[in-house]
Chain A
Amino acid sequence: GNSVTQMEGPVTLSEEAFLTINCTYTATGYPSLFWYVQYPGEGLQLLLKATKADDKGSNKGFEATYRKETTSFHLEKGSVQVSDSAVYFCALSDKNGSGAGSYQLTFGKGTKLSVIP
């Protein structure tokens, strides 16, 4: 079955530090990969995505590259801000069964990031 493994947190960084959150996956097919962000007390927001190998997703200074050879999708940001403090989830979408509703998301356990001034 499909699975996503991401580094355990919490991660605490000073403002303007470099961020890496590792994510690796196991999938039977050719999944799409996502990073979602969850701010305190809120639902999930899509941060970025990549749908095929070597694609790079980017948004708000965050980047992640779909590496098929290492089955990884690590999240990076060159200079974090206090406002980036949140929980980050790596996820994959792969077809499971038939029909339009077969694309289910599999999430990692989430990594809590705290950025201090």
Chain B
Amino acid sequence: GAVVSQHPSRVICKSGTSVKIECRSLDFQATTMFWYRQFPKQSLMLMATSNEGSKATYEQGVEKDKFLINHASLTLSTLTVTSAHPEDSSFYICSASTGIGYGYTFGSGTRLTVV
């Protein structure tokens, strides 16, 4: 079946530094990838939608200059948290779709801790 690999699974960084999270579709081409943020004991909040080769579409309230998304190929999307601060600490999850509508595969998530 479809597999999405997300790395790293955990990362601890110092305040002010940038962190890159990768999301790869291993055995299918992902025309669309979604990035979510999950706060403790809460649901997933969609941050942005990216289509291969075009700029990401950010949800209202998400700072696009802080959360840089690149979807340069059909198998790779990256989320870079720039100048990270403790309030950016969260669980980030990516999801890939073939674009047909019903096929979503989630990555295993990245636990980001900013100290």
Q: Contact between B95 and A110 (Cβ–Cβ < 8 Å)?
A: no
A44-B44, A105-B95 given; name 19 further pairs at CB < 8 Å: A34-B104, A43-B93, A44-B93, A46-B106, A49-B102, A51-B102, A93-B102, A93-B104, A100-B31, A100-B32, A101-B31, A101-B32, A101-B97, A103-B101, A104-B46, A105-B34, A105-B46, A105-B104, A110-B41
Docked complex Cα distance between A34 and B102 (Å)? 10
* A interface, CB within 8 angstroms of B: 32, 34, 36, 41-46, 49, 51, 89, 93, 95, 99-101, 103-105, 107-110, 112
30 pairs, A vs B, C-beta closer than 8 Å: A32-B102, A34-B104, A42-B109, A43-B107, A43-B108, A44-B44, A44-B93, A44-B95, A44-B106, A45-B106, A46-B104, A46-B105, A46-B106, A89-B43, A93-B101, A93-B102, A93-B104, A99-B51, A100-B51, A100-B99, A100-B100, A101-B31, A101-B32, A103-B97, A104-B34, A105-B46, A105-B95, A105-B104, A109-B42, A112-B41
Docked complex Cα distance between A89 and B102 (Å)? 16
Q: Contact between B93 and A110 (Cβ–Cβ < 8 Å)?
A: no
Docked complex Cα distance between A44 and B44 (Å)? 10
The number of A-B residue pairs with CB atoms under 8 Å apart is 61
* B interface, CB within 8 angstroms of A: 6, 31-32, 34, 41-44, 46, 49, 51, 93, 95, 97, 99-102, 104-109, 111
